[in-house]
Structure 1
Amino acid sequence: MNKIKRFATIGAIVASAVLVSPLAFAQSLWHGTAFGMTVDQVQAAVPEASPATNKNPGNGIRFNSQFAPELLHVDEVELVNHKFSGSFYFLNDCLAQVTLHIKDGGSYDTASAYDNLVTALRAKYGQELSAKNKVIGSMVTRDTEWISGRTNINLHYLKMGADDQKPLLNVNYQVRVAGDADKL
């Protein structure tokens, strides 16, 4: 009888392993989402995500030379005492990238938010893989990157022109670079 129980237990373990959703092994992105999730799965993980209201066909990103439209959006999330919005980009109906965009702040506030995000991301993911700062005339760019498992996290700051122009600050979660490393 013990052999039967042992085989039944082993069979249950094997069956569970086979039936586990592939998303259990997917690459984590942001806020409980994972690369490859469907729109419904992202909405279940992030209940505040709603269909993107901007129906402009150009509203999306290039992802591995293909266009990935923004299908879901979060109006507001707070990071390091600043308000951000969130965009969920899908390629072939599968989540490909999450981008958080700063909503508030002028030049000084946005630069300060960048520094605070670097500190917060270091606390979460460890030392950054790379950090690049460029100044070309009145344009300033700052890019800092981390890899967590197979997920790439990129913090991007861009300021162009006069101090009264609002800089761009994004946090991007994707698997692009990690996926390219498989080809090496």
Structure 2
Amino acid sequence: MARWEPGARERLVLAAVELFTEQGYDETTVAQIAERAGVTKSTFFRHFPDKRKLLAAGQETLSQLLTEGIAGAPPDASPLAAVAAGLVRASSAMGPMNRELGPRLKAAIDANAELQERDALKSVGLAAAMTAALVARGVPDPTAQLAGELGVLAFKRGFTEWSGSDRPPVDELAPYTLKALDDLRTATASLG
């Protein structure tokens, strides 16, 4: 095994998702993930404290991208327009590997209660990050919270549609998340 091969983090995520899909989350060990990725167990632990954290890989980056997009929206942008800017910014970081892993990762999460809880906490964290970015723009707290929650829901719905799509792999995520946000905006208008 090469000790310092580039891309170890990405290979670990890919190996884990493959193993979780093949044999289940509970049955997969850190040693198996490291072996499949072509790294040592110590390399695994340099990147992740445990296999649960591996599935949250990228959450901090995603939160940062969403908040950067919101912060960079035009000053006169509505809360949902600022969220849309965040979705576009975050979507720009999603590539073919994310699209390929999406359905397999969802299947692994759906098959394990612990992972479902972790996924729910991830959503809460993303919503909190977007809410804080909106509040920093001067959006009142209840409005910021609602817009942040809609942003998370739009991202998840758009990502699911994009990763499950039969369209060409060069197709970008942003149109999917923006359409999901528009659909949610329409749905909220019908609430009365």
TM-score by length of structure 1 reads: 0.27
Q: Give the number of the structure with larger relative contact order, counting CA–CA contacts within 8 Å between residues 6 or more apart.
A: 2
Structure with greater strand share of residues: 1
TM-score by length of structure 2 reads: 0.26
